Structure 1
Amino acid sequence: MIVYAGIWRKMVSILSGQPIVLCLRMIGRMGRKLLLMLILFGSVFGIYRSSHVLKFLRGGPVRMRFLLATIFTIGSVTMTLIVASVNENFESTLHALRDCKFAREIWSKSQFSHVACSRMSTIIDWWESVFTEFDNDEVTSIITLCWAIWGARNSRIMEGKIIEPEDTVKYALKICQEVSEESCKLDVRPGRTAAVSHPETWSIPDQGWHKVDGDAGIIGELGSGLGAVIRDSSGVVCACSSFQAPDKWTTEVAEAKAVLFGLQLAGELGVQQIVLESDCLLVIQALRNKSTGSSSIHLVLDDIYAKSSNFVNVRWSFVKRGGNKIAHALAHSQPWEVGHRVWNDVIPTRILELALADLNE
């Protein structure tokens, strides 16, 4: 499952970072044949999917079904991009998968309803933001739901068959569950190395250290929010803060700013040994690798490097979203108020409840 999600990540990074002509030159003759095969499979089966194909996908081997789903969706998207480039009235894949009323009803029934609120204007940028924000399992679920939406939409258009939004979500979840179970079976085979696992819950830092959790939130058309919380080695909340602005940053820039925001709060509190934690793996990996460059996110990273030099020790840590609930809540604080708020004497009750829940997990 992680392998297939990795295929998606690589393809998106290539398509979003290079012009199509350069991509075709880079991948060579065999790569071009593979791309043409993806287009053929995606356009033929993704658009004209027959009941026989559906039966095969629903009853065939799990890995084959997921691989074919990947091929169909990549091919369909590629074909749509080509057709849309010569016909401006052609419905975009982004509209079909995210923005149309039919797709929005399905997203609203899933745990990823906020994904449909993204302001990304192209399918490539939208998926790239998904890869940045979510972990592998979540990315797999989102891709599978996109495929399920595509299938339900085509069943409605081509066959007149109406599939309820709840049933589409349940079907996507079922496929993900089967793929996950199959992956677990493969991982226990002799000679196989288990996939890298990341912590899913919050954990207390070592004695003498403080943990700083940061998160960012994109609040529709209102703007962007940042949240940070500092806890000691007993799990006690020492301070927390939120910042809300009308600026509309990209996901990765917002997450990097959340890390910087957490460092600034730690500096104000005067702690010296900190574990800086985020649920954005891209940012944490960049910090661990001391990534440099001239892009918008690298300018924020440079500020983080400079700020972190003021501490005795700083560790960079990644945790899945389930372990970053407080910072997430602060970044999405309501009511929405542009400005900076800090709590260090009287901590809000809701934050204390979340902190207690973290300790009990």
Structure 2
Amino acid sequence: MEIQITGQPWLNNVDNPYISTNSPSLLNQRVVSLFRTGTKEWDMEIIKDIFDTRDQHYIANTRVEQDLNKDTLDWKLDNSGQNSTKHVQIDNIYPVCHEEAESVFHSLVQCKAATLGWQIHNPNISTNETMEFAEWLDRNLSGQPTQATAKIITLCWSIWRARNDLWTAAQGRYTGAPLRSPIAGDCAIYWAKPQQDEVKINADAAVFDNQGSGTGLVVRNHASHMLSAKTTCFSEVMNPTLAEALAIKEALSWAKEWTENTITIESDCLVVIQLIRSATSLRSRLGKVIMECRTLVRELNNVRLYFIKRSSNMSAHKLAHVSHMYPDRVFDWGYISVNVKSCISNELLE
């Protein structure tokens, strides 16, 4: 049996044993994903990053029974809220290779990805014999000069960071280093007009407290004239990275109206741009949106995506932040917000 984080009564709270945090990243995720790797202990760093204060308190006070003979957890509440014991089978498969149970040793040494890293670093380092990670590390550090020791520790840290980046991306909140290096055309500080017979769409998103989320798109041509602008609103308060991905998806969908032109789409969310460019597969709502963006890019065949600095994306930024006041609207120059119009004019002067 698999206990889901949302929709099932597993918190240590008789009155309301359900999670109250409203986040799309928690959908279809299991409670076991909240444990520290290789343990049955709560990973409070992740929990504090995802859950509201109320849920943090009750998760921290939900006791996990440690049972060395059976791979189970004991819950003290059944679906009716009455005291009982529920035994739950844990599926603790390592999310990088999906082949073995997750443990510190497997994550850092015996996973195929980790093993390849060690072979490149030092073919003499053994990854075949299974043992506790502390013992393996002690063996490989023993007698090593300072520089070699530093390289081994650094590679361990890099493998672990890559594992955490993958996990957080799957939760819809990727915060790690870029998946690939920026390409030529990325990182512009000032807005620049597109080339002849090209159009440029700037995209941004905003998340409002208790008012949902919104996106803002601004389209301009090679003469810097605004062809159109558009807002889209969503009723849910979503993860900012997901909102940025939806903004780019809206831009790609809207780009079909200018298929006779080469289209440039710019966003100030590096993570989403890098995910779209990569082949990374994410089993989350964010992953679904990223896949839809990749499909649109292939279908359009004349679109380029670039990451730019916030300073060169201010018109879309301003529009996204007033999208809840002008929901699901398309504007021409005469009807767009004065603040947004001023921002577009200022970008032309820079």
Q: TM-score range by the shorter chain?
A: 0.3 to 0.5
Give 1 or 2 for the bigger CA radius of gyration. Answer: 2
TM-score of the pair, normalised by structure 1: 0.46
More helix by share: 1
TM-score of the pair, normalised by structure 2: 0.48
